[in-house]
Chains A and B, each alone.
Chain A
Amino acid sequence: EPEVTQTPSHQVTQMGQEVILRCVPISNHLYFYWYRQILGQKVEFLVSFYNNEISEKSEIFDDQFSVERPDGSNFTLKIRSTKLEDSAMYFCASRGGSSYEQYFGPGTRLTVT
């Protein structure tokens, strides 16, 4: 069964450093998303991406964040200068064109020290 994959599973970085989180969505899906979940809190929407551009972004997704689909399979989230409060699980999700159901990857745990 097709699934969303994410790498790395855990990333530790120092405050102020740049990180890139990688996702491979399900192959025939057209819509891509990033969410985050701070420990013990809700899953929060960050950004949606369709047809090679951002469709919508939340207030969390400020100028420190960017997304890219560098090729036909990968979807990346970059945080330019990490802060302590960026520590969270980051989930990538994707959906096909004919369904509203979003399928989540296993997540990347980002720890900023």
Chain B
Amino acid sequence: QKEVEQNSGPLSVPEGAIASLNCTYSDRVSQSFFWYRQYSGKSPELIMSIYSNGDKEDGRFTAQLNKASQYVSLLIRDSQPSDSATYLCAGDYGQNFVFGPGTRLSVLP
């Protein structure tokens, strides 16, 4: 069974703080993970991909992958009100992505 789990939130952080978003997966098959941002009524927008254990940084975003614990996270530094959105974690299972339900992030000015 391919499942990707996330806390639905909402996660509220003050502007300028670090937002930490977490994701767990239940199937050993997936080797690649992706974080998408989805604003209400819009399509998923790719933020980052991560394929190997450890950290990957891109600007204010850091993705972390721990395959032994089946855990993926996304840190957003210096959070801005424009970061307020739903963040989707997705695992790549070969020919398709399995998405988590998303975590709603609210960055308070």
Contacts and interface: CB of A to CB of B under 8 A. Distances in A.
Nearest to A49: B95
B97 A102 contact: yes
Interface residues of A, number: 23
Given A55-B95, A100-B49, 10 more contacts: A42-B101, A43-B88, A43-B90, A45-B96, A45-B97, A48-B96, A58-B96, A91-B44, A101-B49, A106-B43
Interface of B: 32, 34, 36, 42-46, 49, 51, 88, 90, 92, 94-102
B63 to A, nearest CB: 13
A75 interface: no
Chief secondary structure at chain B's binding surface: strand
A31 to B, nearest CB: 8
A103 B49 CA distance: 12
Nearest to B44: A104
Contacts of A55: 95
A102 B46 contact: yes
